[in-house]
A and B are shown apart, each in its own frame.
Chain A
Amino acid sequence: MSNLAILPILIPLLAGMWLAFIAKKLPLARGSAKLLSILNLAVAIYIFFHVQQNGTLILEMGAWKAPFGIIIVGDLLAVTLVLTTNLVAIAAAFFAPKSLSDKQEGFYFYAFFFWLISGVSGAFLTGDLFNLFVFFEVLLMASYALIVLGGGKAQLRESIKYLLLNLFSSMLFVTAIAFIYAVVGTVNMAQIAERVQEVEQQGILTTIAVLLFFVFATKAAVFPLYYWLPNSYSVPNPVVSALFGALLTKVGIYSILRVFTLIFTHEPGLTHNLFLWLAGLTMIFGVIGALSTHNVKLIVAYNIIPAVGFMLMGIGIFTETAISGTVYYLVHDMIIKGALFLLVGALAHLAGTSDLRKMGGMIHHYPFLGWMFFLASLVLAGIPPFSGFIGKLLLLQGGLAEEEVIIVIVTLVTSLLILFSMIRIFIGAFWGEKNEEITVNKRAADGYVWPIAGLLALSVTLGVGAEWFYPAIQSIAEYLMAPELYIDSVLKE
């Protein structure tokens, strides 16, 4: 029993309530949002080191014992992702006042922002499949409110699509959980894993597994279920896009990672091979999407999709190296996607358009922003020594060791095309003749720069300092490949 495990969910939840009271008092709301996100980060860091030293944190809520009550499981994977979530959140909290209008801020932005963080942390920490659904709903509720913030015509159009699709996949999720409960008689993840192992995952369970995969794949934007993502992620305010791009699809990937390393691990020939195929197709179609448009926001939004493909590939290969690649890439992608969405948001605002063909010569006015964008492109494409490279290296090593040559080639080609799509923005927007007609807004640019620079510095550290981070990532992968550790820590205290 340790109440520590609930704090990353509880603090943002309470913070959201406090900010709902003071939503109209903007200076106070901004100050408290910054302060509370720093507090939350500090707690997340403390929990991370606590778990690293003392092992998994378990909290049985309301003192109901494990298979019967709802439990919170703070294992190293969960707390690492919670920590990363809070790093992105802090950048967003500092970026938001610069990028949102006063009216948008006053419309409960900070309240929903914290509730979103609360839902995401909850989804990472829960040890109960039904509770995972509940936290999905918490973060979706908050995301519905955030996506319509501002109420532009395009936003309303996209939010209807977003809402309907998520509603459908939520219904499918509950149905799949009901099926699981009907077959194994529990929704506690550890106990499901134990029982699925006992009956050796017979046909019906594999069917349910694939059904669950489709639910998570919809959230994670895996081929062919990604069509809703690019538009609905590129229309809201940059802060909101950054939060969505950095966190929401990753919750889907985390769920796949958790469920298919813990519970459904006995038919890899069927399920995990399916992942490999879908991973390859996701990469190809995602990157083609990124090359097909001139809208800078859309290019970055499309770049979420191949990243999802990379992570899914690691789960598909299903060896320790590949899984550690997936985990590394997950952390890397949360940070860099946050930074990139903020970057293109700032770029589009400063240029007054998000159409690449109408931009040019921005580097003369905003050199720091330009070079940060260049750096971010290299990090995203995985040029050594940056963090994208480390993640991909592990994935490729895992792929080659299992002789999955085709997917390895697809990965390499996709990485090259990602670099191309990003450099296209850099060339189109930043290079070129100095455009004297642009009204230079140095003050706005300075406000934008610091949160982005913070995230980017983190991302670079993650790559250059891979030696420090790799042992932790490797121990997570070892832990994931041995599901009994999770089961024992939950059920046999």
Chain B
Amino acid sequence: MIKTNDLILRTTTTLIAFILFGFSVYLFFAGHNKPGGGFIGGLMTSAAIVLMYMAYGMESVAKIIPINFRVVIPIGLLIAVGTGVGSFIFGQPFLSQTFAYFQLPILGKTELATALLFDLGVYLTVIGVTMTIILTIAQDRKDETA
């Protein structure tokens, strides 16, 4: 196979993937009050990962991020539903949410909301689903028997 010249792609990916990851984290935390959230944050993270896959190839990225994305889906679902079930303990209706302000070091006065935990579940589920779909299509030709 002829080696393709992807120097530009690789160089920019190091930069762009970093920015994408950063922005997706920002979107994730902005989620429950401002535009953003677990869904869009998860999509953006998966976009960054896909970009890395395109630039560096399957094997090397699988080494960098040794995660089975299929397992990420039920973990994410479990966290999301778990925050709903959590309200049972406090005698509240399913999916109740609450928030409070805490004095944290470095960050100062910070709002911590249970909605964020729910969003974390959504975030992980979205990454898991997107990556599973894309990787399954990408691997299509390699192992037709599987």
Interface residues, chain A, with chain B CB atoms under 8 Å away: 1, 3, 6, 10, 13-14, 17-18, 20-21, 59-63, 111
B95 touches A17 (CB 8 A): no
Stretch at the interface among B19-27, B37-45, B71-79: B71-79
Q: Write out the residue numbers on chain B whose beta carbons fall within 8 Å of the beta carbon of A59.
A: 93-94
B61 contacts chain A at the CB level, 8 A cutoff: no
B49 contacts chain A at the CB level, 8 A cutoff: no
Which residues of chain B (18-76) have a CB below 8 Å from chain A? 71, 73-74
The one of A14, A18, A21, A62 that contacts B95, using a Cβ cutoff of 8 Å: A62
B74 touches A62 (CB 8 A): no
B14 contacts chain A at the CB level, 8 A cutoff: no
The one of A18, A20, A21, A63 that contacts B92, using a Cβ cutoff of 8 Å: A63
The CA-CA distance from A111 to B92 in the complex, in Å, is 28
B93 touches A17 (CB 8 A): no
Q: Write out the residue numbers on chain A whose beta carbons fall within 8 Å of the beta carbon of B95.
A: 61-62
Q: Write out the residue numbers on chain A whose beta carbons fall within 8 Å of the beta carbon of B94.
A: 3, 6, 10, 59, 61-62
CB distance from B10 to the nearest CB of A (A): 35
Main secondary structure of the interface of B (DSSP, over half): helix
B93 touches A13 (CB 8 A): no
CB distance from B122 to the nearest CB of A (A): 14
The CA-CA distance from A21 to B96 in the complex, in Å, is 27
Which residues of chain B (69-108) have a CB below 8 Å from chain A? 71, 73-74, 77-78, 81, 84-85, 88, 92-97
Q: Write out the residue numbers on chain A whose beta carbons fall within 8 Å of the beta carbon of B96.
A: 62-63
Q: How many A-B residue pairs have CB under 8 A?
A: 38
The CA-CA distance from A6 to B88 in the complex, in Å, is 11
B93 touches A10 (CB 8 A): no
The one of B71, B85, B97 that contacts A10, using a Cβ cutoff of 8 Å: B85
Q: Write out the residue numbers on chain B whose beta carbons fall within 8 Å of the beta carbon of A17.
A: 74, 77-78, 81
Q: Write out the residue numbers on chain A whose beta carbons fall within 8 Å of the beta carbon of B97.
A: 62
Q: A17-B74, A21-B71, A21-B74 are in contact. Are A10 and B92 (CB under 8 A)?
A: no
Known: A10-B94, A18-B74, A62-B97. 10 other contacts (CB 8 A): A1-B93, A6-B94, A10-B81, A10-B84, A13-B77, A14-B78, A20-B73, A20-B74, A21-B74, A62-B94
The CA-CA distance from A205 to B137 in the complex, in Å, is 45
Q: Write out the residue numbers on chain B whose beta carbons fall within 8 Å of the beta carbon of A63.
A: 92-93, 96
The CA-CA distance from A60 to B73 in the complex, in Å, is 27
B93 touches A62 (CB 8 A): yes
The CA-CA distance from A1 to B93 in the complex, in Å, is 7
A14 touches B93 (CB 8 A): no
The CA-CA distance from A14 to B94 in the complex, in Å, is 14
Q: Write out the residue numbers on chain B whose beta carbons fall within 8 Å of the beta carbon of A6.
A: 94
A3 touches B73 (CB 8 A): no
Max chain A C-beta neighbours (<10 A), residue from B71, B94, B97? B94
Q: Write out the residue numbers on chain A whose beta carbons fall within 8 Å of the beta carbon of B92.
A: 63
Of all chain A residues, which has the CB nearest B78? A17
Max chain B C-beta neighbours (<10 A), residue from A6, A60, A62? A62
CB distance from B139 to the nearest CB of A (A): 16
The CA-CA distance from A60 to B88 in the complex, in Å, is 13
Which residues of chain B (109-127) have a CB below 8 Å from chain A? none
B81 touches A14 (CB 8 A): yes
13 A-B pairs in the complex with CB atoms less than 8 angstroms apart? A3-B93, A10-B81, A10-B84, A13-B81, A17-B78, A17-B81, A20-B73, A21-B74, A59-B94, A60-B93, A62-B96, A63-B93, A63-B96
The CA-CA distance from A6 to B92 in the complex, in Å, is 13
CB distance from A56 to the nearest CB of B (A): 16
A3 touches B74 (CB 8 A): no
Closest 4 CB pairs of A and B: A20-B74, A62-B95, A17-B74, A6-B94
Q: Write out the residue numbers on chain B whose beta carbons fall within 8 Å of the beta carbon of A1.
A: 93
The CA-CA distance from A133 to B15 in the complex, in Å, is 42
The CA-CA distance from A18 to B93 in the complex, in Å, is 23
CB distance from A24 to the nearest CB of B (A): 11
CB distance from A171 to the nearest CB of B (A): 21
CB distance from A175 to the nearest CB of B (A): 23
Q: Write out the residue numbers on chain B whose beta carbons fall within 8 Å of the beta carbon of A21.
A: 71, 74
The CA-CA distance from A315 to B86 in the complex, in Å, is 41
Q: Write out the residue numbers on chain B whose beta carbons fall within 8 Å of the beta carbon of A60.
A: 93
Q: Write out the residue numbers on chain B whose beta carbons fall within 8 Å of the beta carbon of A13.
A: 77, 81
Max chain A C-beta neighbours (<10 A), residue from B74, B85, B92, B97? B74
The CA-CA distance from A61 to B94 in the complex, in Å, is 5
Q: Write out the residue numbers on chain A whose beta carbons fall within 8 Å of the beta carbon of B73.
A: 20
The contact string, 1 if C-beta is below 8 Å from chain A, for chain B 120-143, is 000000000000000000000000
Q: Write out the residue numbers on chain B whose beta carbons fall within 8 Å of the beta carbon of A111.
A: 74
B88 touches A3 (CB 8 A): yes
CB distance from B76 to the nearest CB of A (A): 9
Q: Write out the residue numbers on chain A whose beta carbons fall within 8 Å of the beta carbon of B81.
A: 10, 13-14, 17
CB distance from A389 to the nearest CB of B (A): 41
CB distance from B61 to the nearest CB of A (A): 24
Q: A3-B88, A10-B85 are in contact. Are A61 and B93 (CB under 8 A)?
A: yes
